[in-house]
Structure 1
Amino acid sequence: MAITLSEAAANHVRNFLAKRGKGLGVRLGVKTSGCSGMAYKLEFVDVVDESDLTFESFGVTVFTDTKSLAYLDGTELDFVKEGLNEGFKFNNPNVKNECGCGESFHV
């Protein structure tokens, strides 16, 4: 079981944490939301929860909870630039369907 970051995503997170001046890594989770049922949540971590599961990619720690891991196992978080847009992209092998707006998914 694992969640990974691409090298581009790890570099982006590392640079952002350096500019921010603090942080232990990023937390990736899921929440009930959107038209397809679930949405990703991504936030910076300053304090570790006792129940956190941790993974490391390219020197960056990814934190998640047990419940979210059931939906995120095997996911790679990438950082992509497409034209003038740039942002994180979730490559999740568990997704069966996504909504048209790309904000939520179903497993």
Structure 2
Amino acid sequence: MFSIPGQAPVTITPAAERQITRLMAGKEAFGLKIGLKKGGCAGMEYTMDMVAAADKADEVIEQNGARVLIAPTAQMFLFGTEIDYETGLLESGFKFRNPNVTDACGCGESVSFSLDELAAGTQPKA
């Protein structure tokens, strides 16, 4: 994983911790696995699945009972991301505040990244 010693690769807000813990208990799951897949109008979409066990190459982040696993192919794209859970009048769901995103579609379901900047280890331009 791309990381800074002593710093978690992603952060989880208290609201997200509570929701992940509820989901883990309800599904008797090991944790919430996050990844990326090609799709959407901006090029990439986040994936989320409750899983029974971690794969060998998954990055596992544990925080106050909540467990998030990051798929190996998504690790460099998610470094520095804050995972939140927002409850609204019309919808509720996980929100990703990802500093590596260079573009997103209007609905926020699809994102894109600058591979050149990520490979070079520099921050993307906003």
- In structure 1, give the amino acid aligned to 2:57: S
Match of 1:28 among 31, 34, 49: 34
- 1:74 Cα deviation from its structure 2 partner: 0.8
- 1:3 Cα deviation from its structure 2 partner: 1.7
Tell me how many residue pairs correspond in the alignment. 106
Match of 1:10 among 17, 21, 31: 17
- 1:85 Cα deviation from its structure 2 partner: 1.7
Higher strand proportion: 1
- 1:55 Cα deviation from its structure 2 partner: 1.2
The runs of 5 or more residues in structure 2 that have no matched partner are: 4-8, 114-126
RMSD of equivalent CA atoms: 1.3
What is the TM-score when the length of structure 1 is the normalising length?
0.90
What is the TM-score when the length of structure 2 is the normalising length?
0.78
Q: Which residue of 2 aligns with 1:89?
A: 95
Aligned sequence identity (%): 36
- 1:57 Cα deviation from its structure 2 partner: 2.1
Higher RCO, 1 vs 2 (CA within 8 Å, ≥6 residues apart) = 1
Could you list the runs of 4 or more consecutive aligned residues of structure 1 that deviate by over 6 angstroms after TM superposition?
none
Q: Which residue of 2 aligns with 1:54?
A: 60
The runs of 5 or more residues in structure 1 that have no matched partner are: none
In the aligned structure 2, how far is the partner of 1:63 from the partner of 1:19?
Answer: 18
8 Å CA contact 1:74–1:93 kept in 2: the answer is yes
Larger radius of gyration: 2
